[in-house]
Copies of this chain bind each other. A is one copy, B any other.
Amino acid sequence: MESTKIILDENEMPQKWYNILPDLPNPLDPPLNPATNEPIKIEELEPIFAGELIKQELSSDRYISIPEEILDIYRMWRPSPLYRAKKLEDILKTPAKIYYKYEGVSPPGSHKPNTSIAQAYYNMKEGTERLTTETGAGQWGSSLSFACNYFDLECKVYMVRSSFEQKPYRKSLINLWGGSVVPSPSNETNFGRKILKEFPDTTGSLGIAISEAVEDAAINDNTKYTLGSVLNHVMLHQTIIGLEAQKQMEMAEDYPDIIIGCCGGGSNLAGISFPFIKDKLDGKSDVKVVASEPSACPTLTKGQFRYDFGDTAETTPLLKMYTLGHEFIPPAIHAGGLRYHGDSPIVSKLVDEGLIDAISYHQIEIFDAAIMFARTEGIAPAPEASHAIKAAIDEAVRCRKTGEEKTILFNLSGHGHFDMSSYDRYFSKKLSDD
């Protein structure tokens, strides 16, 4: 029987990230200072972000070298495997070929450490002693704690309350690697106290948690803020996924017709797709890229492409992106990592320009797809990643009907080992179909 694993040799691991900014057909609209509506100045970002990350945010270099200290940590689990989903293809009776890149092999269990390691490293280099952040499902928070552990930084995580309650064990992971975590809104910031007073029963949101983490970084010494998605430098760091996948598809002597990622802030989709979108912009491929998002938080499918705040308290710069409005609080679906009102400005721009398609799914069909995947490919997927699975299954079923032998590649961004309570709710028919 043929192999279904495509393993890239460690020596073949990419040494540079790919920056899509200089290749965009039209330049990004700049982030604006909400007080002046003028493009934000670098000095205004410096109290919050490490200098090197701001530089990367605005860089026009197509490739940026990955420092050896970051590669050293990446090598703990990278290159990540690419799988041919033969057993899933068989059960779907599809002529399509389905591949998936599996990012759940990282110790925190998702793609998030690709950027948390980089962000912690650059902050350490610049003398930062403490990092704050928000987290939805906890994948980002645990990944930042994991990264801070390696660079001797304190880590403080504001975790969206609904996830804090649904996913108690991602908190334990944060503690395991030495970080600390509170439910957001919390009593530890002015904004958190304000929200708690007005809406004591709120489930929280990423927008609120971002406001708290930014406030914490702004008022505390030697403290910077980090973001697990949305920003350009986060997309940059995640491109290692797609750069590896390109080499692995080459090993498989294949090339994707369709690339799929789930989409909350956009980073795992960006990671797998941007290197292939470069091929398309270079006229070398005609790949279709699909962002799969929850119907409960339909940023790309129902939102508007306009300037908006990244957070609820209106403390961030204005970003030009697809948004549901920065006061939008989505239902407490189990794909907590996809509950964000906005989206990456780059991903938004590419959607606006027709280079990325978007699709949305309801919660129960997502879990149906997750179960089918677990019973064929073996892996218990995260609810977030299951949005990509569902879209891949739909494409494969379409191929069954049309007879097309398309090559589908999706990003399995993380495992669901800390999401078992949502599976329990699914099996006991207690899951809402948001």
Contacts and interface: CB of A to CB of B under 8 A. Distances in A.
Interface of A: 1, 3-5, 7, 9-10, 68, 71-72, 75-77, 105, 107, 109, 146, 149, 168-169, 172-173, 175-178, 371, 374-375, 377-380, 417-418, 420-421, 423-424, 427
Given A1-B72, A173-B420, A175-B427, 20 more contacts: A1-B75, A3-B10, A3-B75, A5-B10, A5-B75, A5-B76, A76-B377, A77-B378, A105-B105, A107-B379, A149-B375, A168-B420, A169-B421, A172-B420, A172-B427, A175-B423, A175-B424, A176-B371, A176-B380, A418-B420
A104 to B, nearest CB: 10
B379 A172 contact: no
A4 B75 contact: yes
Nearest to A176: B374
B421 A374 contact: no
Nearest to A170: B420
Contacts of A109: 417
A5 B68 CA distance: 16
Contacts of A146: 378
Contacts of A424: 168, 172, 175
A144 B1 CA distance: 23
A176 B417 CA distance: 11
Which secondary structure dominates chain A's binding surface? helix
8 contacts: A4-B76, A5-B76, A168-B420, A168-B424, A169-B420, A172-B423, A173-B420, A176-B375
A424 to B, nearest CB: 5
Contacts of A178: 375
A15 to B, nearest CB: 13
Given A1-B68, A4-B75, A380 B173 contact: yes
Nearest to A374: B176
A72 B3 CA distance: 8
A117 to B, nearest CB: 11
A75 B377 CA distance: 11
A286 to B, nearest CB: 32
Top 7 nearest A-B pairs (CB, nearest first) are A169-B420, A107-B378, A417-B417, A172-B420, A1-B72, A172-B423, A176-B374
Contacts of A374: 176-177
Contacts of A168: 420, 424
Contact of A107 (B68, B172, B380): B380
Given A1-B68, A371-B176, A380-B173, A10 B7 contact: yes
A247 to B, nearest CB: 15
A374 to B, nearest CB: 5
Most buried by B among A77, A149, A176: A176
A9 B10 CA distance: 12
A177 B420 CA distance: 13
A264 to B, nearest CB: 22
Nearest to A10: B3
Contacts of A378: 76-77, 107, 146
Contacts of A420: 168-169, 172-173, 418
A176 B72 CA distance: 35
A105 B104 CA distance: 10
A105 B169 CA distance: 19
Contacts of A417: 109, 169, 417-418
Nearest to A11: B3
Contacts of A421: 169, 172
